[in-house]
Structure 1
Amino acid sequence: MATQNVSLNDQFRGAVHREGISEQITQRILSLIREKHLKPGDKLPPERDLSTLMGVSRATLREALSHLAMMNVLELRHGSGTFITSLEPQLLVENFSLVFSLTHNSFLQLIEAREVIEPGAAALAAQRIEEDEVLQLEDILERSYDCLRNHPADFPQLDIEFHTKTAEFSRNALLTRIMQAIAQMSIASSQRTAGSPRGVSTVRVERAIKMHQNILDAIKARNPELARQCMLEHLRSVEDTLRGIHAEEE
C-alpha cells in the first residue's frame, strides 16, 4: 500500500503554471483517470498533501475538486475524503446541460449531436419497442395534434417528450440518459424553431408533427432503416430551420 501511495503521489507531483491553475488541476486529475493511474473508487491523497504535491493553495485545489464533483467525476465525502466515482457513463452525462450555453452556435452543435445520436436510437426502437410503448408514442402524437389546434405554443414540450420516449424505447440506458440530459436544451431549441417574428408558426409545428408521424409509422412497421432515415430527415429539417432563423436575424 505504501508503494502504491508513493507511486500515485509521484503522478500528482509537480507545480502547475500560474494561469488557469484550477483548470490545470482539473485536467491533470482527468488525465490520471484516462491513463488508469486513478480508477473508480480510488481515494485521492488528503487535501493538505495534494496541495503540497501540486504546489497550489488548498483554496485553489478545492475549487478544482468541486468542479470535478459537479461533473460527477469525484465524490466529496465529509470526514472520509475525496473519491473517484463509479465513472458510469449515465452518471457523467447527468449534468451535461449545466455546462452548455445556448448561443446560436451551441443550438447548431446540439442539433448536429442529435443527428448523430437519435437516428440510431430510432432504429433500435423499431427493433425493441413493445406494443404498449407504441401506444405511448401514439398518445403523444394525438396530444400534439390537439396542441396544434388549440395551444401551438405548448408544442416544444410534446416535441421533446416524443424524442426522449423514442430514445427510452431503444432500451439503451446510455442513449436514454443522454436524451434526458439534453432535454431542457432541446426544448429551448424546439421553441426557437417553432417560433417566428409574429409568434408561434403553426406551419412549422404541423411539419414537425407530420415528421414525428413518419418516424412512428416506421417504428410500428419494425423497419429500423426507415426509422433511422425518417429521424435524420426530421432533424436535418430542424437544422435548416435554425440556420434560416439565424440568417433572418443577421
Structure 2
Amino acid sequence: MVVAKNLVDKQLIKTIKTEKVHTQVYEQLRAILLEGHWRAGEKIPSETELCRLMGVSRISVRTALNSLIAQGFLIPRQGEGTFVVDVSVDMNMNMLVPIIGLDKGSILEVLEFRKILEVGIVPLVFQNLSGEDVKWLLQNVEELEGTAEEEIARITELDLGFHRKLCEISGNSLVIKVNKILNELFRTSMENVVIALGNQTGRKYHRRIVDVIAAGDREGTVEILREHIQNTIDNIIKIQQDTDLPERLR
C-alpha cells in the first residue's frame, strides 16, 4: 500500500486519455501517403468512401483531410476530388525547414553545418570520384575565375554548384537529399557571403581544392576544405562588427 501511495503522490500514474478519432484518421492516412501506397497525381477515395472504410464520421475524415491538405500532402480539385501532391522525402521535408530571414547567428550556423557535412564526406568523395567529376569541378572553377565581381547571382550559383557537386560525388543518398532540402537556405547564405566577401575567396580555395583532389590527396582535401569554410566564417564574424553593413550581413 505504501508503494501505491508513493506512485500517486509522485503523479507517476496518470489518467489515460482517449485519442481523438480525427487524429487516428489523420495518422492512418498520413502513413498510407508516406509509405507510397497512394502515388503522386492519384485520386484518393472520396470522403464518403473513407467514412465507410474506416467506420468513422464525415467530420473526422474531413478534419484529417484538411490537415493533410494544409501540410501539402493532398490537393482538392473542384468537382474532381482530392489528389496526392507528392509524398517523396525530397518534397515534403521542405515543409520542415522554414526559410526565414538569416540573422547574425544563422548565417554562421549554416556555414558551420556545411563545414561538418562537406569535410565529413571527403572519404566518400575519393571513393566514388571519376575523371569526369574532376573535369566538371575544374570547369566550374574556371568559370568562377572568369566571372566579374559584380555578377553576384552567377558567382553564387557557381560557388553553390561546386559544393553541391561534392555532395553528389559522395554517392550518399541521405547527404544528397539533405543538400537538396536545404538548397534555398544554402543559396541565401551563399549570396550573403558573396555580397560581403566577393568571389576572391571562392576562386582561391576552389582552385586549391580541385588541385588536391586531382592529385589524389585526401588529407590535403580535408585540410583545405575545412580551412576554406572556416576562413569564410572568420571573415563573416569580422565584418558583422561593421555597423555600416546592411542588417542581414551584420
TM (norm. structure 2) is: 0.64
Q: Is contact 1:137-1:162 (8 Å) kept?
A: yes
Q: CA distance change for structure 1 residues 152 and 90 in 2, over 3 Å: closer, same or farther?
A: closer
**Match for residue 15 of structure 1 among 12, 15, 20:** 20
AA aligned opposite 1:230: I
Larger radius of gyration: 2
> 2:215 & 2:96 partners in 1: Cα distance?
34
Does the alignment pair 1:174 with 2:195? no
- 3-state DSSP of counterpart to 2:204: helix
Deviations 1:195-235 (A, max 9, x none): 24xxxx44xx2122211122222221223333233222222
Task: Name the structure 1 match of 2:123.
Answer: 123
Q: CA distance change for structure 1 residues 174 and 242 in 2, over 3 Å: closer, same or farther?
A: same
Q: Is contact 1:97-1:182 (8 Å) kept?
A: no
Q: CA distance change for structure 1 residues 84 and 90 in 2, over 3 Å: closer, same or farther?
A: closer
Task: Name the structure 2 match of 1:193.
Answer: 193
Q: CA distance change for structure 1 residues 103 and 149 in 2, over 3 Å: closer, same or farther?
A: closer
**Match for residue 240 of structure 1 among 209, 234, 238:** 234
- Following superposition, the deviation at residue 137 of structure 1 comes to 0.5
- Following superposition, the deviation at residue 168 of structure 1 comes to 1.4
> 1:100 & 1:179 partners in 2: Cα distance?
14
Task: Name the structure 2 match of 1:217.
Answer: 211
> 2:85 & 2:187 partners in 1: Cα distance?
35
Q: Is contact 1:123-1:219 (8 Å) kept?
A: no
AA aligned opposite 2:126: A
Q: Is contact 1:42-1:83 (8 Å) kept?
A: no
Deviations 1:96-130 (A, max 9, x none): 69622232143233223212211123332223211
Q: Unpaired runs of 5+ in structure 2?
A: 1-17, 39-43, 244-249
Q: Is contact 2:74-2:82 (8 Å) kept?
A: no
RMSD of aligned alpha carbons: 4.1
Q: Is contact 1:127-1:224 (8 Å) kept?
A: no
> 2:84 & 2:187 partners in 1: Cα distance?
36
- 3-state DSSP of counterpart to 1:189: helix
> 2:34 & 2:172 partners in 1: Cα distance?
25
> 1:117 & 1:238 partners in 2: Cα distance?
16
Q: Is contact 1:100-1:106 (8 Å) kept?
A: no
Q: CA distance change for structure 1 residues 114 and 97 in 2, over 3 Å: closer, same or farther?
A: farther
> 1:241 & 1:39 partners in 2: Cα distance?
43
- 3-state DSSP of counterpart to 1:147: coil
Task: Name the structure 1 match of 2:35.
Answer: 40
Does the alignment pair 1:61 with 2:64? yes
Q: CA distance change for structure 1 residues 29 and 191 in 2, over 3 Å: closer, same or farther?
A: same
Q: Is contact 2:208-2:224 (8 Å) kept?
A: yes
- Following superposition, the deviation at residue 158 of structure 1 comes to 0.9
- Following superposition, the deviation at residue 136 of structure 1 comes to 0.8
Deviations 1:165-187 (A, max 9, x none): 12112222332232233333222
> 1:75 & 1:144 partners in 2: Cα distance?
41
Task: Name the structure 1 match of 2:10.
Answer: none
> 1:177 & 1:150 partners in 2: Cα distance?
31
Q: CA distance change for structure 1 residues 167 and 101 in 2, over 3 Å: closer, same or farther?
A: same
Q: Unpaired runs of 5+ in structure 1?
A: 1-12, 17-21
Q: CA distance change for structure 1 residues 96 and 155 in 2, over 3 Å: closer, same or farther?
A: farther
Q: Is contact 1:144-1:158 (8 Å) kept?
A: yes
- 3-state DSSP of counterpart to 1:248: coil
